[in-house]
Chains A and B, each alone.
Chain A
Amino acid sequence: MENNPYVQREALRKVLSRLKKYRVLIALSILFAAVTVGLTLYVPVLVGDAIDRIVGPGQVDFVSVGAILVQIAVIVGATALLQWLMNTINNKITFQVVRDVRSEAFRKLQILPLKYLDAHSHGEIVSRVIADVDQFADGLLMGFTQLFTGALTILGTLVFMLSIHAGITLVVVLLTPISLFVASFIARRTYAMFKLQSETRGKQTALIDEMIGNQKVVQAFSHEDESLEQFDEINEQLEKCSLRATFFSSITNPATRFVNSLVYAGVGITGSLVAIAGAISVGDLTCLLSYANQYTKPFNEISGVVTELQNALACAGRIFELIDEEPQIPEKENAAVLTDVRGNVSLTGVEFSYDPKRPLIRDFNLTVKPGQRVAIVGPTGCGKTTVINLLMRFYDVQEGAIRVEGEDIRDVTRRSLRSGYGMVLQETWLKAGTIRENILMGRPDATEEEMIAAAKASHAHGFIRRLPQGYDTVISEDGGSLSQGQKQLLCIARVMLCRPPMLILDEATSSIDTRTELKVQEAFARLMQGRTSFIVAHRLSTIREADVILVMRDGNIVEQGNHESLLEKGGFYAELYNSQFAH
Chain B
Amino acid sequence: MNKLLVYLKDYKKETILGPLFKLLEASFELFVPLVVASMIDVGIKTGDTGYIVRMCLLLVALGVIGLVCSITAQYFAAKAAVGFVKKIRHALFSHIQSLSYTELDTLGSSTMITRMTSDVNQVQNGTNLTLRLLLRSPFVVFGAMVMAFTIDWQAAMVFVVTIPLLCVVVFGIMLVSIPLYRKVQARLDRLLGITRENLTGVRVLRAFCKEDEEIAEFETRNEALTSVQKFVGRISALMNPVTYIIINLAVVVLIWTGALRVEAGILTQGMVIALYNYMSQILAELVKMANLIINITKAAACGNRIQAVFEIASSQEQASASPEKRKDAPEVEFRGVSLRYKGAGEDSLSGLSFSAMPGETVGVIGGTGSGKTSLVSLIPRFYDTADGAVLVQGADVRDYPLAELRSLIGVVPQKAVLFHGTVRDNLKWGNPDATDDELWDALACAQAREVVEGKKGGLDFVIEQAGRNLSGGQRQRLTIARALVRRPRILILDDSSSALDFATDAALRKALRALPYQPTVFVVSQRASSIQYADRIVVLDDGEAVGIGTHEELLESCAVYQEIYNSQFRKEDA
Q: How many residues of A contact B (CB 8 A)?
A: 136
Q: Would B567 and A130 count as touching, CB distance under 8 A?
A: no
Q: Which of A238-253 contact B (CB under 8 A)?
A: 238-239, 242-243, 246-247, 250-251, 253
Minimum-distance CB pairs A-B, first 7: A513-B367, A91-B233, A87-B237, A261-B63, A80-B241, A254-B70, A265-B59
**Does A349 sit within 8 A of B, measured CB to CB?**
no
Q: How far does the alpha carbon of A290 sit from the alpha carbon of B33 in the complex, in Å?
A: 11
Of B44, B96, B262, which one neighbours A54 at CB under 8 angstroms? Answer: B262
Q: How far does the alpha carbon of A121 sit from the alpha carbon of B272 in the complex, in Å?
A: 65
Q: Would B407 and A222 count as touching, CB distance under 8 A?
A: yes
Q: Would A51 and B406 count as touching, CB distance under 8 A?
A: no
Q: Would B529 and A51 count as touching, CB distance under 8 A?
A: no
Chain B interface (Cβ < 8 Å from any Cβ of A): 25, 32, 36, 39-40, 43-44, 47, 49, 52-53, 55-57, 59-60, 62-64, 66-67, 70-71, 74-75, 77-79, 81-83, 85-86, 89-90, 93-94, 96-99, 101, 104, 109, 112-113, 116-117, 121, 124, 128, 132, 188, 191-193, 195-204, 206-211, 214-215, 218-219, 222-223, 225-226, 229-230, 233-234, 237-238, 240-242, 244-245, 248-249, 251-252, 255-256, 258-259, 262-265, 268-270, 272-273, 276-277, 280, 367-370, 380, 382, 402-403, 406-407, 409, 411, 413, 417, 419-420, 429-430, 432, 465-466, 482, 486, 501-502, 526, 529, 560, 563-564, 567, 569-571
Q: Would B71 and A251 count as touching, CB distance under 8 A?
A: yes
Q: How far does the alpha carbon of A221 sit from the alpha carbon of B431 in the complex, in Å?
A: 9
Q: Would B262 and A514 count as touching, CB distance under 8 A?
A: no
Cβ contacts under 8 Å, B57 to chain A: 265
Q: Would A103 and B75 count as touching, CB distance under 8 A?
A: no
- Select the stretch in A299-307, A424-432, A446-454, A549-557 that faces chain B: A424-432
Cβ contacts under 8 Å, B369 to chain A: 483, 513
A40 CB to nearest chain B CB (Å): 8
Q: Would A43 and B248 count as touching, CB distance under 8 A?
A: yes
Given A51-B269, A235-B89: A126 in contact with B192 (beta carbons within 8 A): yes
**Does A360 sit within 8 A of B, measured CB to CB?**
no
Q: How far does the alpha carbon of A50 sit from the alpha carbon of B276 in the complex, in Å?
A: 12
Q: Would A125 and B104 count as touching, CB distance under 8 A?
A: no
| Residues of B contacting A: mostly | helix
Q: Would A213 and B109 count as touching, CB distance under 8 A?
A: yes
Given A84-B238, A220-B406: A540 in contact with B367 (beta carbons within 8 A): no
Which A-chain residue is minimally distant from B262 (CB atoms)? A54
What 11 new A-B contacts, CB under 8 Å, besides A224-B97, A251-B71, A282-B40? A56-B265, A57-B264, A80-B245, A91-B234, A130-B192, A235-B90, A236-B86, A269-B53, A272-B56, A513-B368, A541-B570
B242 CB to nearest chain A CB (Å): 7
Q: How far does the alpha carbon of A251 sit from the alpha carbon of B70 in the complex, in Å?
A: 8
A-B contact list, 25 entries, CB within 8 Å: A57-B262, A57-B265, A62-B263, A72-B251, A73-B252, A77-B245, A84-B240, A87-B241, A88-B237, A99-B223, A114-B206, A126-B196, A206-B420, A208-B116, A210-B465, A221-B406, A222-B407, A231-B93, A239-B82, A242-B82, A246-B78, A246-B81, A250-B128, A257-B70, A414-B209
**Does A293 sit within 8 A of B, measured CB to CB?**
yes
Which B-chain residue is minimally distant from A58 (CB atoms)? B263
**Does A218 sit within 8 A of B, measured CB to CB?**
yes
Of B121, B273, B560, which one neighbours A51 at CB under 8 angstroms? Answer: B273
Of A83, A212, A513, which one neighbours B112 at CB under 8 angstroms? Answer: A212
Cβ contacts under 8 Å, B417 to chain A: 214, 217
Q: Would A98 and B226 count as touching, CB distance under 8 A?
A: yes
- Select the stretch in A21-29, A365-373, A415-423, A522-530 that faces chain B: A415-423
Q: Which of A110, A477, A483: most chain B Cβ within 10 A? A: A110
